[in-house]
Structure 1
Amino acid sequence: MDKDKEVVVERDENGEEIRPLLISANSISVRAPFEWLAKGWADIKRAPVFSVTYGAVIVLIAALVFWLVYQGGHTTMLFTIGIGALLTGPVLAFGLYSISRQIELGLEPRFGYCIKESSKHMRNEMLFVLILLIWARAASMVLVFFPISDDIGIEGWLEFLAVGSIVGSFFASLVFVTSAFSLPLMLDRNTDAITSALTSINAVLNNKLAMLVWAILIVGLILLGIVTMGLGMFVIFPLIGHASWHAYRETIKQEE
């Protein structure tokens, strides 16, 4: 089998393996998302300090940014920042994927290992972040076509929130389909951003019902985190991050 692999592997001018633009996906059941959360919770219990600390740092940084913007009187910018935080969530969870991967490999989770792995894939991560930020900026353009002012009134705010929610939901869905499996795939197989995105889109479209359940669970957990004044996100964010790693492992066909 090793000889066969050596025959089919192609390499570029730098000696790096040329991989296919699309990696096949498995068919998963609608119960799978609940199993991913259970495995994610198991990872938190295996590495509680790393997981909760990681979640707390991300949430506190986001809260600080929101507070600074609000104190600066840039109220309308909160919408843009909120959309940006939502859309870049999969990238911010990269360290959590690494922790789950370390646990899976039988290693003792180490923060330095997360940094090392993240730096190895920095180029593809940054490209992915750039794409997400462009989408976030596009989503925030609702402020251009639907300007608001201090005297907008309750009806005006409700209309703005309705339009903003529709626009935000569209881009959030786009990001979900594109990034559901992209970042864990980059970490695990060192794939480029295009291959990762196409693989993720294909996997989601081939498991529509199960992925709809997964999306609903994520939205529900995030709303739970919001109603707890963000405190619940200390655990919810790492839970979703760890579960996303297991979602990738079960959905994307693994190398033989």
Structure 2
Amino acid sequence: MSQHFKETPHNAIADSDIARVIPCKQLSMSDPFKWLVLGLKDASRAPVLTLFFGLIFTLIPWFITYLVQLTGWHLVIMPAIVCFMLIGPFLAAGMYDVSWELEKNHVPSLWHSIKAIKRNAVNEWGLGILLMVLMIFWLRVASLIHALYPPYLDENLENLLPFLAVGTVVGAGFTLLVFFLSAFTQPILMERKVDLATALLTNMNAVWTNKGPMMLWAFIILLAVLIGFATWFVGFIFLMPLIGYATWHGYIDTIETKRERHFQ
């Protein structure tokens, strides 16, 4: 269970004075599993919206796969997968709104979830642009890796493996960077209506202060993505909404509030 720090931990992020940093709680290694349980409850309470968002996250990689088959450029798979993961936090805003509405004992709706992106529009779109810039930078790096592939080699697994390995390592680095920047940034922007710098630094401070539990949470997200790809993206129908709902509960559990919130 998360608990309040007896003394506020200090680090370079919290003491940077770049923007306000909202304090975080101390997490335990079991907390990410608690978030999943709460996310599962939300999914059962909003099955139609869960299916809708799940289908969106399933259709996107299906479309990517179709483009690969259409163009025959199989080396686009890894860059496309990483792009999908980079913009995921921004696309998940609607799912955060579902959990928020359920927390308030409201009936969630698709229209309300769509409007959630406008609650703090300038800063939320600022986050989207930041993720887009990182995505474009990743695509340039991926293009460089692809350019190193000798054109005279056949595209078989043995020849592709070194380049896929390099792409995986570099892509994992980009993904960890995005996680560090955006694990809870979107929920903070949605609910608190703070500026982007405050949301980013608050999120970074929470991740840095709770490295163990947050790395476990990152691994759970990665595992969900891998299961989704292993099931030819069908698993995303359930797993992506579950991760989205659980992320909201992770935010509630991690970032300090003026009053205690108990949504079980």
Are the equivalent residues in 1 in contact too, given 2:87–2:128 (CA < 8 A)? yes
Amino acid in the other structure paired with 1:58:
F
In the other structure, the counterpart of 2:79 is: 80
1:102 alignment counterpart: 101
Q: For 2:146 and 2:52, locate their aligned partners in 1 and report how far apart those are by CA, in whole Å.
A: 39
Tell me if 1:44 matches 2:43: yes
User: Displacement, 1:134?
Assistant: 1.8
Tell me the matched-pair count: 237
Q: CA deviation at 1:182?
A: 0.2
- Give the one of 185, 190, 199 matched to 1:187: 190
Equivalent position amino acid for 2:30 in 1: R
SS at match of 1:243: helix
Task: Let me know the Cα RMSD of the aligned residues.
Answer: 1.7
Deviation at 1:152, TM superposition (A): 5.3
State whether residues 183 and 203 of structure 2, in contact with CA within 8 Å, keep that contact through their aligned partners in structure 1. yes
TM-score in terms of structure 2 length: 0.84
Equivalent residue for 1:208? 211
- Report the residue type matching 2:46 in the other structure: A
* Distance apart, 1:255 and its partner CA: 3.0
| C-alpha separation in 1, matches of 2:60 and 2:161 | 28
Q: Deviations over 1:203-232 (max 9, x none)?
A: 001001111111111111211111111111
Q: Provide the residue aligned with 2:224 in structure 1.
A: 221
Distance 2:57 2:231 in 1: 16
Q: 2:79 and 2:251 mapped to 1: Cα distance?
A: 29
Match of 2:10 in 1: none
**How many Å separate the matches in 2 of 1:206 and 1:110?**
35
Q: What is the SS of the residue equivalent to 1:40? A: helix
| 2:187–2:251 contact (8 Å) kept in structure 1 | yes
TM superposition shift of 1:156: 3.2
Mapping for residues 170-185 of structure 1, pairs under 5 Å? 170-185=173-188
Question: Alignment identity in percent?
Answer: 33
Distance 2:182 2:43 in 1: 22
Segments of 4+ moved more than 6 angstroms = none
Residue 74 of structure 2 aligns to a residue whose secondary structure is: coil
* Conservation of the 8 A alpha-carbon contact between 1:70 and 1:78: no
Q: Contact 2:51–2:238 at 8 Å: present in 1 too?
A: yes
The 1:152–1:77 alpha-carbon spacing in structure 2 relative to 1, beyond 3 Å, is closer
How far did 1:52 drift? 1.7
Please say if 1:199 is aligned against 2:202.
Answer: yes
Letter in 1 for 2:106: L
Query: Aligned partners of 2:128 and 2:78: how far apart in 1?
Result: 18
* Cα distance in 2 between the residues matched to 1:114 and 1:82: 25
Q: Is the 8 A contact 1:66 1:81 kept in 2?
A: no
Query: Which AA in structure 1 matches 2:143?
Result: L
State the TM-score, normalized to the length of structure 1.
0.87
Equivalent residue number for residue 29 of structure 2:
30
Aligned to 2:120: 121
Local SS of the residue matching 1:242:
helix
